[in-house]
Amino acid sequence: MEQTFIIIKPEAVRRGLVGEILRRFEAKGLTIARLELRQITEATAREHYAHHADKPFFPGLLRAITAGPSVLGVLEGPDCIRHVRNLAGATNPLEAQPGTIRGDFANELPYTIVHASDSPETAQAEIQRFFG
């Protein structure tokens, strides 16, 4: 059974979208294996986004992900990573298709509503980073 890691980001929590986002994952047939509401620290955010540290948008990413509590989760199911990425939609809200989470709810970068791991290796590293 494949697993993936998600973050329902602070702007989605603040806007009351957690239930709708989780409903979409469950409607696809994915199982919630773990779920936790937590404030992401700046240190953890820096580690999580280290691959973007040299980019000009890095400070905005840090501010967005640490702005309030996030819902961290592990989802599982067949081809879970691909399903979650498809449901999330394109990272840039202007490119995300209607019907996707970002297409329906995100307005601008870096406020992308959700994070979804992009590979089995990344998923396992992120699950370990956030859940130990």
Instruction: Choose the catalytic residue: 51, 52, 83, 115.
Output: 115
Q: Is 44 exposed, middle or buried, given 0-12, 13-18 or 19+ CB atoms closer than 10 A?
A: middle
Q: Catalytic annotation on 51?
A: no
Q: Dihedral, CA atoms, 74, 76, 81, 83, nearest 10 degrees?
A: -120
| Dist CA 125 CA 53 (whole Å) | 18
Strand partners, 114: 8
Q: Which residues are catalytic?
A: 115
